[in-house]
Amino acid sequence: MSSLNLDDFTDLIERPDGGIRRDAEARRERQIVPPGALGRLDDLGEWLAAAQSAVPVRPIERPRVVLFAGDHGVAELGVSARPAGSAGELVREVLEGGRPVSVLGRRLGVPVRIVDMALDCDPEALPEDVVRHRVRRGSGRIDVEDALTPEEAEAAFRAGVALADEEADSGTDLVVLGDVSVGGTTAAGVLVAALCGVDASVVTGRGGLAIDDLAWMRKCAAIRDALRRARPVLGDQLQLLATVGGADLTAMTGFLLQSAVRKMPVVLDGVVTAACALVAQRVAFRAPDWWLAAHDSGEPGQAKALDRMALEPLLTHGVTVGEGAGGLLALPLVQAAAALAAELPEKPKESEVPEVPEEPEAPEAPGAAVGPEAPAEQ
């Protein structure tokens, strides 16, 4: 019998401080640039102030990318452009600095942390700090079997909670959350379809490498079959993740919920993080107030999930590569919003405006005639 009670998160998670947000809005109205002239950057600055309980808002100084990695058995059906079980190769490329998230992380000075939850590779092939939380080698094929056992699901969820605590305790002030997976967008599609009550075709996208039409049809069929298995367990979010999620998605859900408990803002990357956020919202309805949607990747499942959570993406560049790259692209906007909210000067108060002295009238020239000009002498 599990001792994990997800209902506790409903009581533990509070909304960002509304009073602080009103103070931030009042400060913004006093600044020299008119409110609204900076567009969404105004809202971002006020959201950050509420999340930090600080006016003026503090700069984002210790952001971190956290990527949860795993292979999904459903990839055996040819639903991905990458071979099944190849997520470990992507992880090694990230660690070696050759992936987009690696390049952006170096350029922006943001460390990238990878957590192996269910990679289908020898754990000795990766560093110990990457593999120490692994729950199993690959998640089950969700169209015909559960992704995880109940015990594995609980272990993965608790790992995500522990990792959120580690980041919060180490001083991380904002997390860019992403995934490194093969088959992960299929599992994400099942979760979104189940929680939004839509058919498989509504949430089936092309994935990070734009699969062809035949692969899309295989993916749609896999989501349809997994969806039949998901519907009977919709009332139990941990069981839902065990049935059609996977170790990486389950850990990500735990991470999101505990980040909200710890009041640590999170930037969501793509469709996989959006699906996990949707599950977390079902657990604790206030949790999405602590998250930002980085970008619109063009995946229909992501759009459906973000719409359900009333989260509007910051960017619309169509970045589908995953791995936190789109989330990192949005980070400079968040940092800019914090800087503008904190550093723009306020308009001087009326009592502080110096009076401009009136200019004295020019003195009349000596001997000048007063009134009509005198007639000239004859």
Cβ(55)–Cβ(49) below 8 Å? yes
Of residues 183, 148, 165, the one with CA closest to residue 275? 183
Helix and strand numbers (H, E) in the chain are 15, 5
Q: 166-201 burial by CB neighbour count: b if 16+ within 10 A, else e? A: ebbeeebbbbbbbbbbbbbbbbbbbbbbbbeeeebe
Side by side, the strands of the sheet bearing 266-268 are 112-118, 63-71, 174-182, 266-268, 291-293
Alpha helices in 17-108 (DSSP H): 18-30, 40-52, 87-96, 100-108
H or E stretch at 219: helix 213-230
CA-to-CA distance for 50 and 344, rounded, in angstroms? 18
Choose the catalytic residue: 154, 323, 346, 350.
Answer: 323
Q: Establish whether 323 is a catalytic residue.
A: yes
Hey, which residues are catalytic here?
Answer: 323
